[in-house]
Amino acid sequence: MIISGALVAKRIFDEAIAITSSLSIRPGFGVVLVGDDPASRIYVGIKERRAADLGFVFRKEVLPMTATEEEIIRAIESLNADEAIHGILVQLPLPDGLDTDRIIAAIDPKKDADGFHPETVQNFLSGDRTSIPVFPEAIMELAKSSGIELSGKNGIAVVNSEIFGSIMQKAFEYEGIVPTIIPAAEAGSHTEDISNADVVVTAVGQPEFFSRSMFKSGAVVIDGGISEKDGTVRGDVSAEWSDTDIFLTPVPGGVGPVTVACLLRRTVRLARG
């Protein structure tokens, strides 16, 4: 039972279009792209096209691989000062040697489109559920689209980042899900917990890290991992089964398009103020 990212993304885009049509200004979206990573350029291109579909003002700051942190921060500050830009994203990953946290922190929190500025994250963890970063927001949008009543269910997130684990724990709690956060390195010792979970979120980035036998019948499995194997894009969950009795997001076509939709919907909301 595949959960279609395309359908969920369309619903969110339609919501963004409705909000945009009520505004007296055009929402503006700014992206900072550093280096020549092919995947990053593809992702920025997708965001640019979708922003154009919504009639956004779009501004892209492209810097070379050799750019210093100061040069990147100056590009961010230029977008901060641009009144036509309401949402700003720094495309990750940045080249090695750069302080990602410092660079993200340079974004004006009032223009934080991605939701991972420290102030935005703290607001979310402190009780403001509207401040949820867009990646976990997309995960929860997909989980809710399964049609399963989530409140009271047991949820597990297998993660590679402590801060992302904290965000997913809070996101689960907001939906009434009983949360368990498992570091990816410890997943092997939690196979029984994973097999009993009603909702499983994966964000490991290792192809086929999970097999079908690890999930129970009726589980909602949101595959947030993305990696490459044998020249193809893969998720964390084995794709060698399509006739199972679980709810699963595909890779590609699952979390990715919904994350872009949430990113642009947030930009519209920032423009609305």
Catalytic residue, candidates 47, 111, 153, 170:
47
Q: Catalytic residue at 112? A: no
Catalytic residue, candidates 37, 60, 99, 114:
114
Interatomic CA distance for residues 61 and 254, integer angstroms: 28
Catalytic residue, candidates 91, 111, 153, 236:
91
SS3 of 214, please?
helix
Q: Which of 51, 119, 74 is nearest to 263 (CA)?
A: 51
Alpha helices (H) in 161-217, listed in sequence order: 162-174, 191-196
Q: Catalytic residue at 206? A: no
Beta-carbon contacts of residue 197 (< 8 Å; ≥ 6 apart): 154, 155, 156, 180, 215, 216, 219
Q: Catalytic residue at 47? A: yes
- How far separated are the first and last CA of the chain, in Å rounded? 38
Sheet containing 178-183: order of strands: 178-183, 154-159, 199-203, 220-223, 247-248
Residues with a known catalytic role? 47, 91, 114
